[in-house]
Amino acid sequence: MKKVILFGSTGNLGKEIAKELVKQGYDLTIVVRNEVKAKSLADITSKYIIADVCNKETLKHIFDKQEIVISALGKSVSPNDKSKPTFREVDYSANANILNEATKAGIKKFIYVSAFHSEKYLHLEYFKVHHDFSELLKKSGIDYSIIKPPAIFSAFIDMIEMAKKGQLVNIGKGDKKTNPIYEGDLAKITVEAINKQNSIIEAGGKTIYTRKKLNEIVQNEVDSQKNIRTVPLGLFKVTLPIIKLFSKNLFDKFAFFIEVMQQDTIAPQVGTMTFEDYVKQKVNGQ
C-alpha cells in the first residue's frame, strides 16, 4: 500500500482527492492547520499531521516514511475569502517549502494542481505563481505530474448566494467560453496521475459553456424570476487601480476575473458531471 501525504485537503478539491485516495486503497495522511480542520475530515481518514505550510520549520521530518506528495494547496479566488496571505505566499512560497522538504526526504512522486494556461498570463499574479511553482517542480528532479484545470465547479459556489439575492451580473458580453470540471472528476484524474511519469495533464469538464450561460444556469435553478444584470467590462477595468490602493489580494482576484472574462479557456473535455447537475445538487442541499 503506497503512502500518500496530501496538502490542501480541507478545500473542495482536496476533500475529493482524499476520498478518491482512500477509495483506491492508498495509505493517506493529510496535513492540516489545526485539530478542528482534522476533525472535518475524520470520516475520510484519521491520519493527520498539524503543520503551518507557510512556516518551513513545521515541515521538518513531515515526510518520514512517505512516498507520494499531492498538493491541492492554493489561495481561494473567492472575493469572500478574507485571509491575509497572498497568492505568492500560498501558491508559490508554501508549495516551495513543501517541495524543499520533499526533495530532502527523497520523495518519489510529487503531484501539483496548477491552473490551465498559466504560462500565457504571466502578467497576472494568480497565473504567475502557479507557473513559477510548476517550473520549480519540473527542475526538482522528482517525478512530477502537474494537473491543469480551467476551473473547478466549486469555484462558482458564491454565485448561488448571489443569485438568491438577485446580485448576479454578466461582465461584458459574457460570450467567452470555458469548461470547468467537477472536483470529483478532477480528483480521479489527480490520483491516476500517480502512475504517470513527468506529466502535464490539462483537464476540463465535458461541456463547454459561455460565461453568460454559467450565470443563467445558476440563476434559473435558484430563482428564475430574478434578472441578471450586465455590467460593462470597462467599468470593472477602471476600478482596478482604486481596488489596488486598498487591497492587493482583492486587486489580484479582480484582475484574474477580468482577464478570464475576455478569453476562451477550454481544456481537453474529460469530466463526466455537468455544471447543471452540480448546481442542482448544491441548491437542493446535496
Tell me how many helices (H) and strands (E) the chain has: 11, 11
Asked if the 3-155+180-202 domain carries CATH number 1.10.10.10, the reply is no
Burial of 153 (0-12, 13-18, 19+ CB in 10 A): buried
Find, among 212, 250, 253, 251, the residue nearest to 230 by Cα. 212
User: Which letter, b or e, does each residue of 174-185 get, where b requires 16 or more Cβ atoms within 10 Å of its Cβ?
Assistant: bebebbbbbbbb
High-pLDDT (> 70) share of the chain, %? 100
User: Would you state the pLDDT for residue 226?
Assistant: 93
| pLDDT tens track for 190-223 | 999 999 999 999 999 999 999 999 999 999 999 9
Residue matched to cell numbers 441578471? 228
Please report the DSSP string for 7-65 in residue order.
Answer: ESTTSHHHHHHHHHHHHTT-EEEEEESSHHHHHTTTTT-S-EEE--TTSGGGGTTTTTT
β partners of residue 177: 210
Give the chain's mean pLDDT: 94
Highest mean pLDDT among 21-30, 168-177, 230-239: 21-30
Q: How far apart are CA 22 and CA 193, in angstroms?
A: 15
Mean of pLDDT values over 238-247? 88
Burial of 108 (0-12, 13-18, 19+ CB in 10 A): middle
Domain ranges of the chain: 3-155+180-202, 209-281
Find, among 194, 215, 273, 265, the residue nearest to 21 by Cα. 194
Q: How far apart are CA 147 and CA 111, in angstroms?
A: 8
Judge whether 27 and 4 are in contact, CB under 8 Å.
yes
Say yes or no to pLDDT of 285 above 90. no
Mean of pLDDT values over 52-74? 93
pTM of the model: 0.94
